Amino acid sequence: SQQGEEDPQALSIQEGENATMNCSYKTSINNLQWYRQNSGRGLVHLILIRSNEREKHSGRLRVTLDTSKKSSSLLITASRAADTASYFCATDGAEGAQKLVFGQGTRLTINP
Amino acid sequence: DAGITQSPRHKVTETGTPVTLRCHQTENHRYMYWYRQDPGHGLRLIHYSYGVKDTDKGEVSDGYSVSRSKTEDFLLTLESATSSQTSVYFCAISVEGVGTQYFGPGTRLLVL
Protein backbone atom coordinates (compact mmCIF):
# COMPACT_ATOMS: atom_id res chain seq x y z
CA SER A 1 0.00 0.00 0.00
CA GLN A 2 1.16 3.51 -0.69
CA GLN A 3 2.23 5.63 2.24
CA GLY A 4 2.22 8.91 0.32
CA GLU A 5 -0.52 10.07 -1.98
CA GLU A 6 0.00 13.07 -4.23
CA ASP A 7 -2.64 15.52 -5.29
CA PRO A 8 -3.40 16.47 -7.98
CA GLN A 9 -2.45 13.56 -10.22
CA ALA A 10 -1.81 15.98 -13.07
CA LEU A 11 -1.28 19.73 -13.21
CA SER A 12 -0.88 21.97 -16.24
CA ILE A 13 0.11 25.63 -15.87
CA GLN A 14 1.65 28.45 -17.87
CA GLU A 15 5.33 29.24 -17.68
CA GLY A 16 6.04 31.75 -14.97
CA GLU A 17 3.16 30.64 -12.75
CA ASN A 18 3.62 28.86 -9.46
CA ALA A 19 2.89 25.15 -9.11
CA THR A 20 1.72 23.54 -5.90
CA MET A 21 1.59 19.82 -5.30
CA ASN A 22 0.37 18.10 -2.18
CA CYS A 23 1.23 14.85 -0.47
CA SER A 24 -0.64 13.05 2.27
CA TYR A 25 0.66 10.11 4.23
CA LYS A 26 -0.71 7.70 6.77
CA THR A 27 1.77 6.89 9.52
CA SER A 28 4.33 8.75 11.60
CA ILE A 29 7.48 9.71 9.76
CA ASN A 30 11.02 10.80 10.45
CA ASN A 31 11.57 12.49 7.09
CA LEU A 32 9.63 13.32 3.97
CA GLN A 33 11.36 13.75 0.65
CA TRP A 34 10.41 15.05 -2.77
CA TYR A 35 11.80 13.67 -6.01
CA ARG A 36 11.49 14.69 -9.65
CA GLN A 37 11.38 12.34 -12.61
CA ASN A 38 11.83 13.54 -16.15
CA SER A 39 10.26 11.35 -18.79
CA GLY A 40 12.16 8.11 -19.23
CA ARG A 41 14.72 8.89 -16.55
CA GLY A 42 15.41 7.88 -12.96
CA LEU A 43 14.15 9.86 -10.00
CA VAL A 44 16.23 12.78 -8.77
CA HIS A 45 16.18 13.89 -5.16
CA LEU A 46 14.99 17.46 -4.67
CA ILE A 47 14.61 18.16 -1.00
CA LEU A 48 14.24 16.47 2.38
CA ILE A 49 12.28 17.86 5.30
CA ARG A 50 12.52 16.38 8.76
CA SER A 51 9.52 15.76 10.96
CA ASN A 52 10.54 18.57 13.32
CA GLU A 53 10.72 21.11 10.48
CA ARG A 54 7.72 23.02 9.15
CA GLU A 55 9.18 24.66 6.07
CA LYS A 56 12.25 24.35 3.92
CA HIS A 57 13.52 26.23 0.88
CA SER A 58 15.85 25.29 -1.91
CA GLY A 59 16.14 27.74 -4.79
CA ARG A 60 12.67 28.00 -6.35
CA LEU A 61 11.35 25.14 -4.24
CA ARG A 62 9.47 25.53 -1.01
CA VAL A 63 8.34 22.52 0.98
CA THR A 64 6.01 22.60 3.95
CA LEU A 65 5.22 19.82 6.36
CA ASP A 66 2.26 19.56 8.70
CA THR A 67 2.68 16.46 10.82
CA SER A 68 -0.64 17.00 12.59
CA LYS A 69 -2.41 16.68 9.25
CA LYS A 70 0.09 14.19 7.86
CA SER A 71 0.56 16.30 4.78
CA SER A 72 3.23 18.13 2.83
CA SER A 73 3.24 20.52 -0.07
CA LEU A 74 5.80 21.32 -2.73
CA LEU A 75 5.70 24.78 -4.27
CA ILE A 76 7.68 25.57 -7.38
CA THR A 77 7.80 29.31 -8.00
CA ALA A 78 8.24 31.03 -11.35
CA SER A 79 7.89 27.77 -13.25
CA ARG A 80 9.94 27.04 -16.35
CA ALA A 81 9.43 24.63 -19.22
CA ALA A 82 12.28 22.54 -17.79
CA ASP A 83 10.19 21.91 -14.67
CA THR A 84 7.91 19.68 -16.72
CA ALA A 85 8.24 16.32 -14.98
CA SER A 86 6.57 14.00 -12.50
CA TYR A 87 7.03 14.79 -8.84
CA PHE A 88 6.92 12.18 -6.10
CA CYS A 89 6.85 12.41 -2.36
CA ALA A 90 8.49 9.66 -0.34
CA THR A 91 8.20 8.90 3.32
CA ASP A 92 10.03 6.71 5.73
CA GLY A 93 8.25 5.33 8.74
CA ALA A 94 8.24 2.42 11.10
CA GLU A 95 10.91 0.59 9.15
CA GLY A 96 13.36 3.42 9.36
CA ALA A 97 14.99 6.04 7.19
CA GLN A 98 16.53 3.54 4.81
CA LYS A 99 13.23 2.23 3.48
CA LEU A 100 11.06 4.73 1.63
CA VAL A 101 7.55 4.46 0.34
CA PHE A 102 6.75 6.52 -2.73
CA GLY A 103 3.47 8.04 -3.78
CA GLN A 104 2.07 7.74 -7.26
CA GLY A 105 3.26 11.18 -8.29
CA THR A 106 1.96 14.40 -9.79
CA ARG A 107 2.52 14.95 -13.49
CA LEU A 108 3.38 18.63 -13.98
CA THR A 109 3.27 20.22 -17.41
CA ILE A 110 4.55 23.74 -17.95
CA ASN A 111 3.14 25.34 -21.08
CA PRO A 112 5.26 27.98 -22.84
CA ASP B 1 23.90 10.14 -10.61
CA ALA B 2 25.96 8.72 -7.71
CA GLY B 3 27.77 6.39 -10.10
CA ILE B 4 24.87 4.00 -10.61
CA THR B 5 24.56 2.02 -13.80
CA GLN B 6 22.02 -0.55 -14.84
CA SER B 7 22.29 -3.22 -17.47
CA PRO B 8 20.74 -3.97 -19.78
CA ARG B 9 18.88 -0.74 -20.40
CA HIS B 10 16.28 -2.45 -22.57
CA LYS B 11 15.29 -6.07 -22.82
CA VAL B 12 12.61 -8.05 -24.62
CA THR B 13 12.10 -11.60 -23.50
CA GLU B 14 9.54 -14.37 -23.69
CA THR B 15 7.29 -15.69 -20.96
CA GLY B 16 8.95 -18.43 -18.95
CA THR B 17 12.54 -17.39 -19.56
CA PRO B 18 14.86 -16.31 -16.76
CA VAL B 19 16.04 -12.72 -16.74
CA THR B 20 18.75 -11.06 -14.68
CA LEU B 21 19.12 -7.32 -14.31
CA ARG B 22 22.30 -5.82 -12.95
CA CYS B 23 22.85 -2.72 -10.85
CA HIS B 24 26.36 -1.46 -10.32
CA GLN B 25 27.52 1.36 -8.04
CA THR B 26 30.95 2.88 -7.66
CA GLU B 27 30.68 4.56 -4.25
CA ASN B 28 30.47 1.63 -1.79
CA HIS B 29 27.05 2.47 -0.44
CA ARG B 30 25.70 -0.14 1.90
CA TYR B 31 22.03 0.11 0.94
CA MET B 32 20.76 -0.81 -2.52
CA TYR B 33 17.22 -1.19 -3.80
CA TRP B 34 15.24 -2.56 -6.71
CA TYR B 35 11.94 -0.90 -7.63
CA ARG B 36 9.47 -1.36 -10.41
CA GLN B 37 7.46 1.48 -11.86
CA ASP B 38 4.12 0.95 -13.51
CA PRO B 39 1.41 3.41 -14.57
CA GLY B 40 -1.04 3.94 -11.75
CA HIS B 41 1.19 2.33 -9.14
CA GLY B 42 4.10 4.70 -8.82
CA LEU B 43 7.33 3.19 -7.58
CA ARG B 44 7.11 -0.07 -5.66
CA LEU B 45 9.93 -1.74 -3.75
CA ILE B 46 10.80 -5.27 -4.86
CA HIS B 47 13.84 -6.12 -2.74
CA TYR B 48 16.56 -4.24 -0.98
CA SER B 49 19.98 -4.99 0.44
CA TYR B 50 21.68 -3.65 3.53
CA GLY B 51 25.05 -5.26 2.90
CA VAL B 52 26.83 -8.06 1.12
CA LYS B 53 24.61 -11.15 1.27
CA ASP B 54 22.06 -9.24 3.37
CA THR B 55 18.78 -8.76 1.56
CA ASP B 56 15.12 -8.40 2.42
CA LYS B 57 11.79 -8.42 0.65
CA GLY B 58 9.84 -5.37 -0.33
CA GLU B 59 6.22 -4.78 -1.20
CA VAL B 60 6.14 -6.77 -4.47
CA SER B 61 8.77 -9.48 -4.12
CA ASP B 62 6.84 -12.48 -5.47
CA GLY B 63 8.47 -13.84 -8.63
CA TYR B 64 11.76 -12.02 -7.98
CA SER B 65 14.99 -12.95 -6.28
CA VAL B 66 18.11 -10.91 -5.62
CA SER B 67 21.74 -11.48 -4.85
CA ARG B 68 24.55 -9.29 -3.60
CA SER B 69 27.92 -10.99 -3.53
CA LYS B 70 29.89 -7.74 -3.78
CA THR B 71 29.20 -4.28 -2.37
CA GLU B 72 29.06 -2.75 -5.82
CA ASP B 73 26.66 -5.17 -7.53
CA PHE B 74 23.02 -5.94 -6.82
CA LEU B 75 21.35 -8.43 -9.15
CA LEU B 76 17.62 -8.85 -9.69
CA THR B 77 16.45 -12.15 -11.19
CA LEU B 78 13.10 -13.03 -12.62
CA GLU B 79 13.22 -16.82 -12.37
CA SER B 80 10.49 -17.35 -14.95
CA ALA B 81 9.34 -14.10 -16.51
CA THR B 82 5.62 -13.40 -16.85
CA SER B 83 3.82 -10.70 -18.79
CA SER B 84 2.85 -9.03 -15.50
CA GLN B 85 6.53 -8.34 -14.94
CA THR B 86 6.69 -6.05 -17.95
CA SER B 87 7.76 -2.82 -16.33
CA VAL B 88 10.50 -0.28 -15.87
CA TYR B 89 12.95 -1.38 -13.21
CA PHE B 90 14.99 1.10 -11.21
CA CYS B 91 17.93 0.48 -8.97
CA ALA B 92 18.77 2.92 -6.21
CA ILE B 93 21.31 3.43 -3.47
CA SER B 94 20.75 5.16 -0.18
CA VAL B 95 22.90 7.52 1.79
CA GLU B 96 23.08 5.80 5.15
CA GLY B 97 21.44 7.61 8.03
CA VAL B 98 19.70 10.28 6.01
CA GLY B 99 17.85 7.97 3.67
CA THR B 100 18.17 10.06 0.53
CA GLN B 101 18.10 7.75 -2.46
CA TYR B 102 19.87 8.08 -5.79
CA PHE B 103 18.53 6.26 -8.79
CA GLY B 104 19.97 4.54 -11.79
CA PRO B 105 18.68 5.24 -15.31
CA GLY B 106 16.27 2.30 -15.36
CA THR B 107 15.77 -0.87 -17.38
CA ARG B 108 12.75 -1.27 -19.63
CA LEU B 109 11.67 -4.90 -19.66
CA LEU B 110 9.06 -6.28 -22.02
CA VAL B 111 7.88 -9.84 -21.46
CA LEU B 112 6.00 -11.23 -24.44
Q: For residue range A1-53, what is the model confidence (pLDDT) as tens digits? A: 446 688 899 999 999 999 999 999 998 898 999 999 999 899 999 999 999 99
Overall residue count recorded for chain B in this entry:
112
Chain A residues lying within 8 Å of B42, measured CB to CB: 2, 88, 102-105
Tell whether domain A5-111 is in CATH 2.60.40.10.
yes
Residue in A48, A99, A105 nearest the CB of B98? A48
Range of the domain at B54: 4-111
Cα atoms in the 13 Å half-sphere on the side-chain side of A37: 26
- CB of A63 closer than 8 Å to CB of A84: no
How do the domains of chain A map onto residue ranges?
5-111
Positions of chain B with pLDDT lower than 70, given as ranges: 1-2
Segment A51-77, tens digit of pLDDT: 999 999 999 999 999 999 999 999 999
Q: How many domains does chain B have?
A: 1
CATH value at residue B106? 2.60.40.10
Residue A33 and residue B99: Cβ atoms within 8 Å? Answer: yes
